[in-house]
Amino acid sequence: MKQHVSLIIEAAWVFPVIPRNTLLADYAAVIDADEIIDICPIAEVEGKYQASETIRLGKHVLMPGLINLHAHAAMTLMRGLADGLALAPWLQDHIWPAEAKLVSSEFVYDGTVLAAAEMLSGGVTTYNDMYFYPKAAAEASIKMGLRANLGLVVIEFPTQYATDAGDYIKKGLDARDHLRHEPLITFSFAPHAPYTVSDETFQRIGTLANQVDISVHTHLHETKKEIIDSEENFGLRPLARLANLDVLGPSVTFAHCVHLEEAEMQLLAEQGCSIAHCPSSNLKLASGIAPITQAIKYHVNVGLGTDGAASNNRQDMFTEMRLAALLAKANSGDATAVPAQQAVEMATINGAKALGLDDKIGSIEKGKLADLIAVRFFDLEMQPCFDPISHLVYVAGREHVSHVWVAGELHYHQPTDGAAVYSGIEPRELSDIVTKWESKVSEFK
């Protein structure tokens, strides 16, 4: 007797990511409810399963959903604000003043909806956020069907959201308690950066993170100035300072890590920390090029992030994969550095590992959640194709994403003969969000 299942997705190729360097031709993923229960040849599917729905993708790659390991989703409403500046003046003279006046629960909800639509259309199924009003961000993510690890932001100075570090922590924990049973939502503490968070607050966050069993997500070694200032103010480089405060560990993700010394890479590897590599943002803000090839040689877990749309200006993980691979080659002088397989791993299973979710997402394996995307290969610019995995990194763009499933539910698809379709919102509503905020934000450009 055939087993009844929810969904069967047949594809020209299934790229599971795990095992490595595996590409399955004419295979199908079999899904029941939110779980992948089988990956088998298309020829065997009909004899084993009866599905409520079967989707046949004859010229597509089916692969795990992409994981954006460092984002500030609501800042999509600030896309392109104050271009052409280094990090410090960009933050101090434009972004922080704009946030002081504009950021609210409504701003975060609208900005996160807009960001979620952009990420879904580019194949992102999970993002690791760092911003204010996590309840609003959660509401927007759930509406759009996007998986989110929400950073509970902590800084020392007051904002519209909270008054001091203790207030940030309290509000963050309240949000976590309120949303802890939402299947699409997980949490981390997100102390903004060593230059905005005190020793006392970092120590408190380290203790609380262990007590409530959530991860930590912060910026680190993004600019040379950050390191110089730390040496002047604390007598230590930022990573050494955090090590002394006992903040490091396998549940810690550091965004950027542009300026690392060899001993620091060794330390990150020994402690099991992860890096969220954000190549586009680091280039645009002239922060530098992170030494990712060296970090990988020390076995540091490296994922990929877009950073916020205000400093990128795209939440486009296909661009980040391609740029990470190309920069690694140019920076190391080694054409074999970060091959296509590894670039995709950085955008999938490595991100899942950093979030402590690699037993659930990041690869196409039996028992994992059905967070999947399909990438079409029939467009002219995708032809000819001798190596589909290489094409995913060096040829494909987010415009080639045709379907996005999160937990087995189709939340985005791009028909060949029509406009993009989202499960959570109409395109007109997205345009309304932009119109609502555009003139308000433009005052700070």
Nearest-CA neighbor of 1 among 40, 43, 39, 50?
50
Distances from the Cα of 295 to the Cαs of 67, 262, 316, 383, in angstroms?
20, 8, 23, 34
Q: Which two tokens stand for residue 68?
A: 């954006």
pLDDT digits (tens, 9 = 90+) for 342-373: 999 999 999 999 999 999 999 999 999 999 99
Q: Which two tokens stand for residue 368?
A: 């994992």
Q: Please report the pLDDT score of residue 150 as a whole number.
A: 98
Q: Please report the pLDDT score of residue 419 as a whole number.
A: 87
| Residue 369, strand partner residues | 35
Distance of CA 14 to the CA centre of its chain: 22
What is Dmax (Cα atoms) for the chain? 72
Q: Please report the pLDDT score of residue 90 as a whole number.
A: 87
Low-confidence ranges of the chain (pLDDT < 50): none
Give yes or no for a contact between 343 and 322, defined as CB atoms under 8 angstroms apart.
yes
Q: Which two tokens stand for residue 307?
A: 């950073």
Q: Please report the pLDDT score of residue 154 as a whole number.
A: 98
The Cα 147–Cα 124 span in angstroms is 9
The Cα 107–Cα 104 span in angstroms is 5
The Cα 345–Cα 292 span in angstroms is 14
The CB density around residue 76, as the number of other CB atoms within 10 Å, is 28
pLDDT digits (tens, 9 = 90+) for 393-442: 999 999 999 999 999 999 999 988 778 999 999 999 999 999 999 999 98
pTM of the model: 0.98
Q: Please report the pLDDT score of residue 16 as a whole number.
A: 98
Residue 318 half-sphere exposure toward CB, CA atoms < 13 A: 21
The Cα 174–Cα 191 span in angstroms is 16
| Residue 11, strand partner residues | 27, 57
**What type of residue is 196?**
T
Distances from the Cα of 167 to the Cαs of 72, 159, 177, 191, 402, in angstroms?
20, 11, 15, 13, 43
- Domains in the chain: ranges and CATH: 3-64+371-414 (2.30.40.10), 66-354 (3.20.20.140)
Q: Please report the pLDDT score of residue 383 as a whole number.
A: 96
Give yes or no for a contact between 160 and 103, defined as CB atoms under 8 angstroms apart.
yes
Name 28's Cβ contacts closer than 8 Å, sequence gap at least 6: 8, 9, 10, 11, 14, 39, 40, 41, 42, 45
The Cα 361–Cα 406 span in angstroms is 10
Nearest-CA neighbor of 424 among 442, 406, 437?
406
Give yes or no for a contact between 43 and 23, defined as CB atoms under 8 angstroms apart.
no
**H or E stretch including 166?**
helix 165-179
Q: Please report the pLDDT score of residue 357 as a whole number.
A: 98
Q: Please report the pLDDT score of residue 85 as a whole number.
A: 86
Find the length of the chain. 445
The Cα 111–Cα 139 span in angstroms is 12
Give yes or no for a contact between 113 and 430, defined as CB atoms under 8 angstroms apart.
yes
Q: Which residue has the tokens 């933050």?
A: 91
